[in-house]
Amino acid sequence: MIHYLEAARQFQCNTVNMTYALAITDGGYLAHIYWGKRLPVTDLTSLLRLDENPFTPSVNPRDRACFFDTTPFEYPCSGTGDYREAAFGIEDIDGYRACDLTYVCHRIYDGKPVLDGLPHTFSDISTPMQTLELLLEDQPTGLQVTLSYTVFSDSDALVRSVKICNMGTAPCTLTRVLSCSVDLDEDRFDMLTLYGSWARERQVNRLPIRHGKQRIDSLRGESSHQYSPFFALLSPQTTESCGDAYGFTLIYSGNFFAQAELTQHCSTRAQIGINPEDFAWVLQPGEMFQAPEAVMVYSAKGLGGMSRCFHTLFHRHLIRSEWKDKARPVLINNWEATYFHFDLEKLKKLAAEAAALGIELFVLDDGWFGHRDSDNSSLGDWTPDEKKLPGGLKPLADAVTGLGMQFGLWLEPEMVSPDSDLFRAHTDWAIQIPHRPMTLCREQYVLDFSREEVRDAIWTQIKAILDSVPVSYIKWDMNRQLTELGSAALPASRQKELWHRYMLGVYDLMERLVTTYPELLLENCSGGGARFDAGMLYYSPQIWSSDNTDSRDRLRIQYGASLFMPPSAMGAHVSICPNHATGRNTPFETRGFVAMNGTFGYELDVTQLSHEEKEMIRHQIQQYHQYSHLVRNGLQYRLGNPFVCSDCAAQMHTGWDAWIYVSEDQSEALFTYVQITAEANMRSRKIPLAGLAPDAVYLYTINNRQQEQLGAVLMQCGIRVPNLWGDMKSIQLILTKK
């Protein structure tokens, strides 16, 4: 898969459909040559633009700055003449800030590196994979930089990471260490990013890139509601099913930076990594710094091809939980049913009704500990509130398990309320800057998880709960962004390390949790979907995708999320109407179909439902059990686009969305169609399907009529869905190969 062409001093990393090529130049610099559709293994020197100086006719090495400013650098440094965005920057012991990385040696080996303390993709023996490691050096400082490139036999993805070792004799400060930078030869790209806000996450933005820098980032200490750590560069003609799509994401949950820069000579520099703003890391002689992994995906099959590549890679090589291949229990979460206002009796009634309907896991959300009757107290004091739960959690857990259900619990381990015993005893454990007011957000502060003693104290409390009550599921919440970054445990020279040290601390505690309790189902959450990122997938196979449970809004949120995250990781629940976030009414059936395009569960007061609604729950659970393997292990094809889909210009307010999951052997598929807005006197719609076997005949039932049709016809001409009476009406059906 990885080839070294010795005479040409070139490397070619190949997957089934993709080639990524780089070269060592005469001066020992590493230059990018090509990334795109698979090429034969061959000398690509003719593609390298190394002799094109921008404003002098001379050739290298006379005009070095021009050379540096135009070379397609594989890992560009700052301070030596490349005036585009650098991937790597330092400040040495004397305050000087230039660096210059040249090739030392390389190795190619089977397998891939393990990143200590950071989430990372992994190998398994059944999937061959290879890694190219290139060692570069900045001679004056003695810094050694290892660039790693891993390719997988079952994916058109390239996973990159960067490790820095200080082999010099003096300390050196790293000021930027991006995880990937690539100089693409093309200039005509659209950049697709996901923007949003709380309850409105992952809205799609697609715009042509223009000269200059187009950036998204986070400086909030979390990957954020505002921008997802993901972007795609697309040819202007790229659609859902065809055209070039280059996707980038970072396996990291903290501050990130992602940028496309269209340069003076119309090449495009694409980058992703830890946000260099407010970042610095002091590296003493002999010390090492590891940057997170970046994932780069190439597909000639449009956005859909790119997304499926991310989904499969993450499913096979990033999610570790035993739950990834198992049907997740259908859960009920009491948050939207009770908020903070519950007692043991109320919860037992909810659980009993849920069990009678066939729900399998009861999750107790926020408000069970300390004296937390609203969001203004008790975070950090993880002892049950005896007023609400006399005798602690055990009577409730026993009642729930006695009903044949599993018991789940909400935690927010990283936070502390000013009104808590923990804060009163250890004020300095909260992130803060001395003599500066601490900004409150949701009435809480953030614990300094860069400190081991702080993590230990929280871990002791969590472990005591998990060892005393049969907890099968944890929802790990995180409800505020970081401010006044300061740690009482770090010297002045290291305060800028806190953002990243905090993330390493969070990962450490999650690692303890999932390795001590491997059977636990962990669902991540961050005020809804603020940490909906690949880093979290390493610890939790599912993540609550948004606090907005309105199905119509979820169509957009889940569409955006599916661009790079597997649908099986998308926490999605049926909730009550009018919806608490939007006030909108949506048919119960559609709420179920939209939630089944994710992990599926309920978040409402089941004791208040009508007989018909309860019957529908029974039916939905049965459907979920019949089809959830397709959502988990099948391939997802988006057939509509809730941001743009309407029939024709004259029908601006008719909208629809649709998707299909197809089993790997193409014998079975689950099709869902949602008519977002109804229109009187409309003809039926034909929705072209995807992913089916063209020559196979599929059986399906629509409008109570059994039908059969060739895969080729269903894909080319479409499946005919009737005009439905009402907004947000929907159809879900199964297609089986005859």
Q: Which residues bind ligand DGJ (CB under 6 A)?
A: 335, 365-366, 410, 477, 479, 525, 527-528, 544, 547
Residue with smaller CB distance to ligand DGJ, 481 or 641:
481
Active site residue 94: no
Q: How far is the CB of 561 from ligand DGJ (least distance, A)?
A: 15
Q: How far is the CB of 337 from ligand DGJ (least distance, A)?
A: 12
Residue with smaller CB distance to ligand DGJ, 324 or 580:
580
Residue with smaller CB distance to ligand DGJ, 271 or 472:
472
Residue nearest ligand DGJ, Cβ-based: 366
Q: How far is the CB of 254 from ligand DGJ (least distance, A)?
A: 19
Taking the CA atoms of the chain, what radius of gyration do you get in angstroms? Answer: 27
Q: How far is the CB of 418 from ligand DGJ (least distance, A)?
A: 17
SS3 assignment for 169-205: CCCEEEEEEEEEEEEECCCCCEEEEEECCCCCCCEEE
Q: How far is the CB of 396 from ligand DGJ (least distance, A)?
A: 17
CA dihedral 94, 97, 100, 104 (to 10 degrees): 50
* Strand 542-544 to 294-299 pairing: unpaired
Helix, strand, coil in percent for the chain, rounding step 5: 25, 30, 45
Distance between CA atoms of residues 711 and 78, nearest Å: 54
Q: How far is the CB of 532 from ligand DGJ (least distance, A)?
A: 11
Residue with smaller CB distance to ligand DGJ, 1 or 525:
525
**Sheet with 361-364: strands ordered across:** 570-571, 542-544, 521-524, 473-476, 406-411, 361-364, 331-333, 601-603, 574-575
Q: How far is the CB of 375 from ligand DGJ (least distance, A)?
A: 6
Residue with smaller CB distance to ligand DGJ, 156 or 412:
412
Residue with smaller CB distance to ligand DGJ, 191 or 458:
458
Residue with smaller CB distance to ligand DGJ, 526 or 636:
526
Q: How far is the CB of 374 from ligand DGJ (least distance, A)?
A: 10
Contact, 243 vs 208, CB < 8 A?
no
Distance between CA atoms of residues 92 and 576, nearest Å: 59
| The residue to which tokens 């490139």 are assigned | 149
Q: How far is the CB of 410 from ligand DGJ (least distance, A)?
A: 6
* Strand 2-5 to 361-364 pairing: unpaired
3-class secondary structure, 661: strand
3-class secondary structure, 110: strand
Token digits of residue 245: 């799509």
Residue with smaller CB distance to ligand DGJ, 316 or 372:
372
Contact, 409 vs 363, CB < 8 A?
yes
Phi, psi of 255 (to 5 degrees): -60, 135
Residue with smaller CB distance to ligand DGJ, 91 or 373:
373
Q: Tell the burial category of 405 from Cβ atoms under 10 Å away from its Cβ (0-12, 13-18, 19+).
A: buried
Looking at residue 108, its amino acid is I
Q: How far is the CB of 526 from ligand DGJ (least distance, A)?
A: 7
CA 431 to each of CA 279, 362, 490, 498: distance values in angstroms, whole numbers, following the listed order: 16, 34, 11, 9
Q: How far is the CB of 164 from ligand DGJ (least distance, A)?
A: 36
Catalytic residue, chosen from 156, 547, 553, 727, is 547
Task: List CB contacts of 154: < 8 A, sequence separation 6 or more.
Answer: 127, 312, 316
Catalytic residue, chosen from 477, 533, 553, 727, is 477
DSSP classification of residue 447 = B
Residue with smaller CB distance to ligand DGJ, 503 or 525:
525
Residue with smaller CB distance to ligand DGJ, 217 or 547:
547
Q: Which element (helix H / strand E) includes 709?
A: strand 705-710
Q: Which element (helix H / strand E) includes 305?
A: helix 302-317
Bridge partners of 147, per DSSP, are 134, 162
DSSP track, 375-422? TTS-TT--SB-TTTSTTTTHHHHHHHHHTT-EEEEEE-TTEE-SSSHH
Q: How far is the CB of 474 from ligand DGJ (least distance, A)?
A: 12
Residue with smaller CB distance to ligand DGJ, 119 or 528:
528
Distance between CA atoms of residues 540 and 320, nearest Å: 8
Q: How far is the CB of 479 from ligand DGJ (least distance, A)?
A: 5
Distance between CA atoms of residues 215 and 680, nearest Å: 44
Bridge partners of 415, per DSSP, are 446
Token digits of residue 150: 């891993």
Token digits of residue 251: 């396996």
Distance between CA atoms of residues 339 and 321, nearest Å: 29
CA dihedral 362, 364, 365, 370 (to 10 degrees): -170
| The residue to which tokens 């090492």 are assigned | 288
Q: Tell the burial category of 489 from Cβ atoms under 10 Å away from its Cβ (0-12, 13-18, 19+).
A: middle
Residue with smaller CB distance to ligand DGJ, 20 or 335:
335
Contact, 258 vs 231, CB < 8 A?
yes
The dihedral region occupied by 212, where left means phi > 0, alpha psi between -120 and 50, and beta the remainder, is left
Active site residue 428: no
Residues tagged active-site: 477, 547
